[in-house]
Amino acid sequence: MKKISITALLIFVSINVKAQDNLPYYEIPEYSDTYTAGTVAARMIDGLGFRFYWATDGLTEEDLSYKPIGGSRSTGETVDHVLTLSYVILSAALHQPYDKKDTSQLSFEEKRKQTLINLKTAADILRASDDVSKFVIVFGERENPFWNAINGPIADAIWHSGQIASYRRTSGNPINSNINHFTGTVKSN
């Protein structure tokens, strides 16, 4: 019985490690051959996803609890905020009103994975559209045009991904130096 339990545990761990390796945005997807409102908006989200992927890759508990000053968010709280922003972006892409999710019980790895999946799903939907004006952000009864998605949750999440990268550098765990933000690729060693 003990042998079966250990085997099952090893299979479970290897499956989870493989799933972890298959998260979106290790590198930015190939760019579109055409420029449309949808492909440009999707590329902005792809850039966000790539930055968030690498800003959060390999964060430790020490990194997650780091706060630059007393009244600011910790790195972990900033990750939570980006997750919330990703749900706002996804809701607009799915033509659904934003509905606040309770993510307090999720682990850091689950929050990271969900954020990346939300961003990839939204980008893929937008990439297939020529008219992004139909992707409104809805808070309750209030509809906001897609313009607000660009300068609101998309830009805000890019900003906060940069904060996470800066915070982790300050807490002694800088991002992988092989990342090329310009090309959205990772240099091999």
- How many other CB atoms are found less than 10 A from the CB of residue 117? 16
Q: Where are the domains of the chain?
A: 34-186
What's the confidence (pLDDT) of residue 8?
Answer: 39
What band does 88 get if pLDDT is binned at 50, 70 and 90? very high
CATH for 34-186 is 1.20.120.450
Q: What is the pLDDT of residue 70?
A: 82
Say yes or no to pLDDT of 106 above 70. yes
Euclidean distance between CA atoms 101 and 120, whole angstroms: 18
Most confident segment among 8-17, 33-42, 64-73: 33-42
How is residue 29 written in tokens?
């997807």
Paired tokens of 14: 């290897």
**Digit-coded pLDDT (tens) for 120-161:** 999 999 999 999 999 999 999 999 999 999 999 999 999 999
Question: What pLDDT shows up at residue 21?
Answer: 63
Q: What is the CA radius of gyration of the chain?
A: 18
Length of the chain as a residue count: 189
The predicted-structure confidence for 39-72, as pLDDT tens digits, reads as follows 999 999 999 999 999 999 999 999 999 999 888 9
Structure confidence at residue 114 as a pLDDT band (50, 70, 90): very high
Q: What angle do CA 44, 163, 98 make, to 5 degrees?
A: 55
10 Å CB burial of residue 148 (0-12, 13-18, 19+) is middle
